[in-house]
Amino acid sequence: MLATSNVILWVVVIIQSLLIFALMRQVGVLHERVFPAGALMSTAGPKVGEAAPVHTVQTLSNTTITLGGKQAGNKNTLLLFVSPSCPICKTMLPYVNSVLAAEQQPTNIVLASDAEGVSERAQHEQFIRDQKLPADHYVLSRELGLAYLVDKLPFAVLIDNQGILRAKGMVNSREHLESLFEAQARGVASLQEYLSVQHHEPSKRSAA
């Protein structure tokens, strides 16, 4: 009787161990897929690795800037599409302001939106006052949004100093914005692509 109980107990322990191992493996796979999340890559519009479309636009301070093409000062350009009616956009603007306020800005940040007519322009002017955004970094251009096929906000585009599109995607947090720079540093279109490559490489090595 005692021997039978011991056998049953060991069987239960082994089954529990296998279940715990399987659960830990699934948690590891889930962690790998979710963290870091990275900007949500979009396949629409200009392709990463190609030359970004060149647009000359006017800021709300009535200065003219060129987006795309070779840039003076060897700075990358982060183009962030926002809107006064986008609540997620507003949560990211303090980070944008902190970067703009830095003495040595590693990246030129341009905020973009669209507007038609005097009343909508006035709405954007009030928006930048409320959010304490610099008018010389804010542009209104419907053509710019159409060029990148932006359909959801906030949406970010990273262009290097040679005018090459390096990363793009929807961004819902500061971490998403930072992931665009990480993707550029790793030479991939998005962190999702990087994680996908890392996930498949161990399988290839094992098969070899």
Q: How far apart are CA 138 and CA 147, in angstroms?
A: 17
Quick one: pLDDT band at residue 77, thresholds 50, 70, 90? very high
CATH class of 55-196: alpha beta
Residue 4 has pLDDT above 90, yes or no: no
Token readout for 183 is 């993707």
What's this model's pTM, rounded to 2 decimal places?
0.73
Q: How far apart are CA 205 and CA 208, in angstroms?
A: 5
Q: Are 81 and 153 in contact (CB under 8 A)?
A: yes
pLDDT of residue 205: 43
Residue 31 has pLDDT above 50, yes or no: no
Quick one: pLDDT band at residue 36, thresholds 50, 70, 90? very low
Token readout for 164 is 């090459």
3-state secondary structure 69-97: CCCHHHCEEEEEECCCCCHHHHHHHHHHH
Q: What share of the chain has pLDDT > 70, as a percent?
A: 68
Identify the DSSP state of 40: B
Q: How far apart are CA 136 and CA 111, in angstroms?
A: 9
Predicted confidence (pLDDT) per residue in 142-185, tens digit: 999 999 999 889 999 999 999 999 888 888 888 888 887 777 77
Quick one: pLDDT band at residue 190, thresholds 50, 70, 90? low
57-83: average pLDDT: 92
184 vs 100, higher pLDDT: 100
C-alpha angle 154-91-39 in degrees, rounded to nearest 5: 40
71-100: average pLDDT: 89
pLDDT of residue 50: 93
Strands 76-81 and 107-113 come out as parallel
